[in-house]
Amino acid sequence: MSTAMPAAAAAALESTFLIEVLSSLVRTKSVNPGISEEAMARRVLAWLEPLGAEVEFVEFAPGRPSVGARIGSGDGPRLVLNGHMDTVPIDGEDRWASDPFEASVRDGYVYGRGACDMKAGLAVQIAVAHHLVALGVPLRGTLVLHFAAGEECGEPGTLSLLQAGYTGDFGIVTEPTQARVSVATRGLVHYRILIRGRSIHASRSHLGVNPVLKLRPVLEVLERYDADIRSRPHPLLPGGSCTPTITRGGVKENAVPDSVEMFLDRRLLPGETVEAELADLRARLSRIPELDFTIDVVGLPFEAAEIAQDSGWAQRVSAAVGTLTDRSPVIMGTPYASDVRNLVNDGGIEAVTFGPGNVAECHCVDERVAVSELHDAAAVIAQLSREMLS
């Protein structure tokens, strides 16, 4: 970092400031479902308002605001930094070493719900914005910031920001990648299978049709399907998967149920589509004798997305990682789904996923992010922003 850089610009990238921003975000609850992102949106606004940024709340539904912001208005490149404000709920709060919303800092980590997924990435975006403004140099390009609502449930927060004009030429989704560069991400869809039977008193079960007994051949079909899709190759991603996650049915211990339903978590590779895989599953299940069933999509799916591994933008981000950190500049794929799908598929933006945190430490007890990764991600994105926009 040049010694001529203004002190305020340098301070915006230091761990002290990053921890301060992240801690304020973790302490602002935004659990989805259950707690609207409104308070988080106001918290983000409070960090951006002093910068003189153009800031707007964009709602995809009443009370569900995302935050879009722009810094600079030149005719040069537009760089989009994207992240989501919502978190998953708390599971097993009594097992946490500290209050999940306390933002405890210890052993080189910040702990708390959303610390890793993905308020760390949001803190980096805010820090980069402060850094650029503190440089005091007019921008020839535009920094476009997304703080999206609803990602954890597949809701269209990011899509609504793109539709409102917060788009660009290049993008970075600051989801956790341990400060490595990802060019491909798997998609996600949930399917529901409803198996119909005919209810009757369990003492006369032979006169009814028990849908529970149909689970055995259904599971056998799903096991073969899962093996097939896992074998489909991709250079950066594990194969797809189909995992039964919930099975439920019945109303009483002594009654044969009318129906049983099963939910499937289907992870998609780039090139696989929600509808094509639904048709494949329906055809496989239809071969089971005397199976009365329906299968459909539940919730809002995530499409898979990717850009070329040799993309100039991906190589540029990777080169910055190699120069500014002690991390290997490896191009990778992310096994989870994210809103990078909106940037790539809907916005036509050349976008990568790159941010602080390890996905293995998300959605879990004692969720945490390494302070060193916060610092590295901020340093890399700040340099790219300076080179592209100033």
Q: Is there a single domain that holds both residue 202 and residue 87?
A: no
Q: At what angle do helices 274-286 and 215-230 cross, to 10 degrees?
A: 140
Q: Looking at 302, 330, 360, which one is the last position of a domain?
A: 302
pLDDT in tens, 102-160: 999 999 999 999 999 999 999 999 999 999 999 999 999 999 999 999 999 999 999 99
Q: Do 136 and 194 fall into the same domain?
A: no
Residue 3 has pLDDT above 60, yes or no: no
* pLDDT attached to residue 179: 93
When divided into structural domains, the chain yields a total of 2
Nearest to 294 by CA among 194, 383, 190, 204: 194
Establish if 66 belongs to a structural domain: yes
Q: Which CATH number do you get for residue 193? A: 3.30.70.360
pLDDT band at 165 (very low <50, low <70, confident <90, very high): very high
Q: Domain check: are 276 and 164 in the same one?
A: no
Same domain? 267 vs 349: no
Residues 204, 85 share a domain:
no
Q: Are residues 25 and 131 in the same domain?
A: yes
Tell me: do 298 and 206 sit in the same domain: yes
Question: What is the rounded radius of gyration, in angstroms, for the C-alpha atoms of the chain?
Answer: 23
* Residue 2 located in a structural domain: no
Indicate if 181 and 191 belong to the same structural domain: no
- Residue ending a domain, choose from 302, 334, 349: 302
Is 76 contained in some domain?
Answer: yes
Q: Cβ(143)–Cβ(385) under 8 Å?
A: yes
4 pLDDT tier (thresholds 50, 70, 90): confident
CA–CA separation, 47 vs 43, rounded Å?
Answer: 7
2 secondary structure, DSSP code: -
The answer to whether residue 292 is domain-embedded is yes
Has residue 1 been placed in a domain?
no
Residues 177 and 64 in one domain: yes
CATH, residue 91: 3.40.630.10
pLDDT tens per residue, range 255-300: 999 999 999 999 999 999 999 999 999 999 999 999 999 999 999 9
- Categorize the per-residue pLDDT at 1 as very low, low, confident or very high, splitting at 50, 70 and 90: very low
pLDDT above 70 coverage of the chain, percent? 99
Indicate if 295 and 385 belong to the same structural domain.
no
Q: Do residues 261 and 125 both lie within one domain? A: no
Provide the residue range defining the domain that includes 198.
187-302
Domain end, chosen from 272, 302, 332, is at: 302
C-alpha angle 354-357-360 in degrees, rounded to nearest 5: 115
Both 14 and 140 in a single domain? yes
The answer as to whether 58 is a domain residue is: yes
Rounded distance, CA 174 to CA 170, Å? 13
Calpha distance 355→83 (Å, rounded): 10
